[in-house]
Amino acid sequence: KAGVTQTPRYLIKTRGQQVTLSCSPISGHRSVSWYQQTPGQGLQFLFEYFSETQRNKGNFPGRFSGRQFSNSRSEMNVSTLELGDSALYLCASSAGPNSGNTIYFGEGSWLTVV
Amino acid sequence: AQSVTQLDSHVSVSEGTPVLLRCNYSSSYSPSLFWYVQHPNKGLQLLLKYTSAATLVKGINGFEAEFKKSETSFHLTKPSAHMSDAAEYFCVVSGNYGGATNKLIFGTGTLLAVQP
């Protein structure tokens, strides 16, 4: 079956703009989480959704937001982009929010802010 | 709070020699631990996971890791390195103690180079 699908794969935005990234989890998976990966900060947890509810949020400013739809697909939005938001954004899915569940990652969306 | 420390930022081995990537964890309870690999410009692939069953965990591509509670370690090993193993490896702990979350806490990564 298809893996975690993220779109777009690459995008370039200008400071001050906003961006929306999309994630389709593996079929049947209801839990989606998002991570930011940068050379300086490494991999950091953004948020986690299950059944359209945010269960956890990382230590990011309010410019970062997300949501999950009834079909488990998820989007994250970053408003008022800053240069420091340039990163690889990774989406992950699993069957549910149990810490023993296997978590599968997509290939990510590369965001460059200029 | 949980955390993981990867003791080496870079490891270089020759093809055919053993691989050892070291990871220590900090947790007040029995954690869920994972190793993920990331090839250049790719997402993360799960190598193996420990969830309080057998302490020696076998993963894909010949990798294995041993959970040692007394040493709070979860080192990743492979008997014989292959050129295709060159990648970045992340030791990861689950964010809550057996709780209902998929929040993962990542180590800083170890870049493995394999020399011909």
Count CB atoms within 10 A of the CB of residue A37.
20
CA count, 13 A, side-chain hemisphere, B18: 7
Tell me which residue in A42, A56, A90 faces B101 most closely, judged by beta carbons: A56
Based on C-alpha coordinates, what's the Rg of chain A?
Answer: 13
B1 touches chain A (CB under 8 A): no
DSSP line for B39-104: -TT--EEEEEEESSS-SEEE-GGG-EEEEETTTTEEEEEESS--GGG-EEEEEEEESSSS-S---E
Per-residue pLDDT at B98 exceeds 60: no
Q: What is the pLDDT of residues B44-78, one digit of tens each?
A: 999 999 987 788 999 999 999 999 999 999 999 99
Contact A90 B102 (CB under 8 A): no
pLDDT of res. A99: 63
Query: Scanning every residue of chain A, which has its alpha carbon at the shortest distance from the alpha carbon of B48?
Result: A102
- The pLDDT score that the predictor gives to residue B88 is 97
Burial class of residue A16 in the structure, from the number of CB atoms within 10 Å of its CB (0-12 exposed, 13-18 middle, 19+ buried)? exposed
From chain B, pick out residues whose CB is under 8 angstroms from the CB of A92: 44, 102, 104
With an 8 Å Cβ cutoff, are A97 and B101 in contact?
A: yes
* pLDDT reported for residue B96: 62
Contacts of A4 (CB under 8 A, 6+ apart): A23, A24, A25, A26, A91, A92, A93, A104, A105, A106, B43
- Amino acid at the residue A20: T
Contact B42/A45, CB-based, under 8 Å? no
The reported pLDDT for the residue numbered A1 is 63
Residues in CB range of B70: below 8 A, 6 or more apart: none
Q: What is the pLDDT of residue B45?
A: 94
Query: Which one is predicted more confidently, A2 or B69?
Result: B69
Is the confidence at residue A97, as pLDDT, over 80? no
pLDDT of residue A56: 86
User: What are A's interface residues with B at a Cβ cutoff of 8 A?
Assistant: 4, 31, 33, 35, 42-45, 48, 55-56, 58, 90, 92, 94, 96-108
Sign, CA dihedral B97-B26-B80-B53, equals negative
Q: Do B96 and A106 touch (CB under 8 A)?
A: no
B49 in reach of chain A (CB within 8 A): yes
Cβ burial of B40 (10 Å; 0-12, 13-18, 19+) is exposed
B96 to A92: CB separation less than 8 angstroms, yes or no: no
Which DSSP category does A26 fall into? Answer: P
Over the stretch A29-76, which tens digit does the pLDDT of each residue have? 999 999 999 998 999 999 999 999 998 899 999 999 999 999 999 999
Q: Is residue A7's pLDDT more than 70?
A: yes
